[in-house]
Amino acid sequence: MLNVIIFLGSPGSGKGTQAAKLSSTFDYKHISIGDMLRDNVERKTDLGLKTSEFVDSGELVPDDLIIQVVGKFFEDFSSNKDDKVILDGFPRTEPQALALEKIINDLDITLTSVIFLNVQDDEVISRLSERGREDDSPELVLNRLNVYRDQTEPLLEYYKNKNILNEIDGNRLPELVFGEISELIGVEA
């Protein structure tokens, strides 16, 4: 059975950092949709050519496209029976959450936990201005934060209603956040 943990949180909330640390310390595979898209954009693959305008402007890639990519990924992957996966960057909209639910049911995957890294906006803005990725310019950061508020934040309610949402205070030092996540998922940090 494939076990999946979802990371939710605004841009700059530390999802990528924490997911990478979990995967290098424990036996988790880190699937970052943002990294995967940026890699495709850079290599100018078919997917990269279709998605670059969205990725570069901080808009979300259209749902149908991203759902197709994630669906295919899980189809290929779900035969790896005992694997544990951290999904970072999906779902980001309600249609994506519904699509994921269908994928999970069809492929007999367990959604173990949804971890929400809650970080204040001013902290996010200061972190992203230091990070300096190409889509981290001040205007694009504000745009991504707005997109997050409008499209992704409603998912918190969705998973809260399903009783699988775990909120973690992400304003603190990465080691402290990591300790709490490790405890939550039942491994020793």
Sequence-ordered strand ranges (E) for 45-157: 84-88, 109-118
Give the C-alpha separation, 131 to 134, whole Å.
9
Question: Which of 70, 83, 68 has the alpha carbon at shortest distance from 23?
Answer: 83
Residue 10 and residue 128 in contact, taking contact as beta carbons nearer than 8 Å: no
Give the active site residues: 15, 92, 131, 133, 144
Nearer to ligand ADP, 1 or 149 (CB): 149
Residues near ligand ADP, by CB under 6 A = 11, 33-34, 37, 54-55, 58-61, 66, 89-90, 92, 96, 144
Least distance from ligand ADP to the Cβ atom of residue 82, Å: 26
Least distance from ligand ADP to the Cβ atom of residue 154, Å: 14
Token pair, residue 111, equals 């959604």
Find the residue with minimal CB distance to ligand ADP.
34
Residue 146 and residue 152 in contact, taking contact as beta carbons nearer than 8 Å: no
Give the C-alpha separation, 10 to 120, whole Å.
9
Least distance from ligand ADP to the Cβ atom of residue 81, Å: 26
Nearer to ligand ADP, 102 or 183 (CB): 102
Nearer to ligand ADP, 11 or 170 (CB): 11
